[in-house]
Structure 1
Amino acid sequence: MPIVSIEPATPDRWDDLERMFGPTGAYGHCWCAFFRRRAKDFTASTSCPPPERGRDNRETLRRLTLDGRIPGLIAYDGTEPCGWVSVAPREEFIRLSRSRALRPVDPDEPGVWSVVCFWLPPRRRKHGLGTRLLDAAIEYARAEGGSVLEGYPVDTAGGRAPSAEVYTGSVRMFQKAGFSCAPHPVSERPVARLRLKDD
């Protein structure tokens, strides 16, 4: 794979992000808003008929980006956007705080960031770009003052799974990056954690 740069999704990069996600907004009109919206609002956006389908999700991501909130990082092959990872302070992801399966055990712990989603166009998959995006997310969260980075990967038991099922990453990928993975105390779903700085 050619050399890839990975950059924050700043307002001037919105057109690149929109072009990469395409008309369906990555995973089924998601626009990487799944963790940023209440369940009923997200579902309403993805279940309405075209051309409105996904419009509110797109607007959520567009507004965040154009407001300079940096909702994630974009990978580039030259000038072509070719990958995405959503990483931000954990409190920005409203779905986590409301989720029985992933609700934080320590909601008041300061400095926790979350990496919640990866998106790679089909021809970019299986070349290690997801790992490079995770490494970049680690460095970005650390540089922005995060003390812990959390992820919510899927345990594929060392095998492969459809991309739409592992959009949060795999346990193996997170472990290779140095994260410790433990089951959530309620749902037993894997939660990956990496300390970004010494106490």
Structure 2
Amino acid sequence: MAIEIRPATQFEDVQTILGPKRPDANVCWCLSYRIPSKQNVALRGPERGSLVKELVGQNPPPGVLAYDDGEVVGWAAVHPRADTNFARNRKIPHVDDLDVWSVWCIRVRPGHRGKGISHRLLAGAVEFARSHGATVVEGYPVDNKGKKVDLTMAYVGTRKLFEAAGFVKAADTDSVLNGFPRVLMRRELR
């Protein structure tokens, strides 16, 4: 397996991972934490994909993609926290005033799970943030204590995944997902 992590600059590949089977469907497209809530609710169907196509064309793009021998198999959203809902989220605290980057979504396509791709995506997201000047990266995974997490809710990652990537718990949060508390995990890049 030759997994390669690249910046998410190819819309068609992002669409393969995040897009709906039907163009008019209202799937997340990994926008729920990226744009203001009112805008997220107002965007419907194809408008969601159009916005993602615009974000993919920006510098920096909205995340990284994993490729297995050239086939796109995974996604990790990573961007400066200031450009996300985490900048204003009351349930997830700010530890300090540093210019933090956030990782909030890790997704691996069915048929490719269980091969360590999420670990590669998280490491790639950290390196992507570092290459854009980040000195600190945060994630907000569930602390599931080894219990099974529903796959539809596993996109935030687990504490164990983040710890394996060198992150340490920096704070508790008031956020709960799928019955599990979320914790603020942080990795210093200095």
Tell me how far 1:186 sits from its aligned partner: 5.3
* Structure 1 or 2: more strand by fraction: 2
List aligned pairs for 1:86-97, cutoff 5 A: 86-93=77-84, 95-97=85-87
Answering whether residue 65 of structure 2 is matched by residue 66 of structure 1, we say no
SS of corresponding position for 1:15? helix
| Residues paired across the two proteins, number | 183
Letter aligned with residue 150 of structure 2: P
Letter aligned with residue 3 of structure 1: A
TM-score by length of 1: 0.82
Structure 1 consecutive aligned stretches of length 4 or more whose deviation exceeds 3 Å:
182-189
Distance 1:185 1:81 in 2: 33
Return 5+ residue gaps in structure 1 as ranges. Answer: 46-52
Return 5+ residue gaps in structure 2 as ranges. Answer: 176-180
Contact 2:64-2:78 at 8 Å conserved across structures: yes
Q: Which of residues 94, 98, 119 in structure 2 aligns to 1:104?
A: 94
Structure 2 CA distance for partners of 1:127 and 1:103, relative to 1, 3 Å: same
Structure 2 CA distance for partners of 1:185 and 1:151, relative to 1, 3 Å: closer
Distance 1:192 1:170 in 2: 10
Structure 2 CA distance for partners of 1:102 and 1:55, relative to 1, 3 Å: farther
Contact 2:136-2:188 at 8 Å conserved across structures: yes
Distance 2:21 2:45 in 1: 8
Aligned to 1:9: 8
Tell me how far 1:103 sits from its aligned partner: 4.4
SS of corresponding position for 2:156? coil
Identity between Structure 1 and Structure 2 (%) = 36
Distance 1:54 1:24 in 2: 11
Letter aligned with residue 7 of structure 2: P
Aligned to 1:180: 168
Tell me how far 1:175 sits from its aligned partner: 0.9
Stretch moving more, 119-128 or 54-63? 54-63
Distance 2:17 2:182 in 1: 30
* Structure 1 or 2: more helix by fraction: 1
Aligned to 1:48: none
Aligned to 2:178: none
List aligned pairs for 1:163-178, cutoff 5 A: 163-178=151-166
Q: Which of residues 98, 101, 107 in structure 2 aligns to 1:113?
A: 101
List aligned pairs for 1:1-40, cutoff 5 A: 2-10=1-9, 13-24=10-21, 29-40=27-38
Structure 2 CA distance for partners of 1:191 and 1:54, relative to 1, 3 Å: farther
Structure 2 CA distance for partners of 1:89 and 1:115, relative to 1, 3 Å: same
- Aligned-residue CA RMSD (Å): 2.2
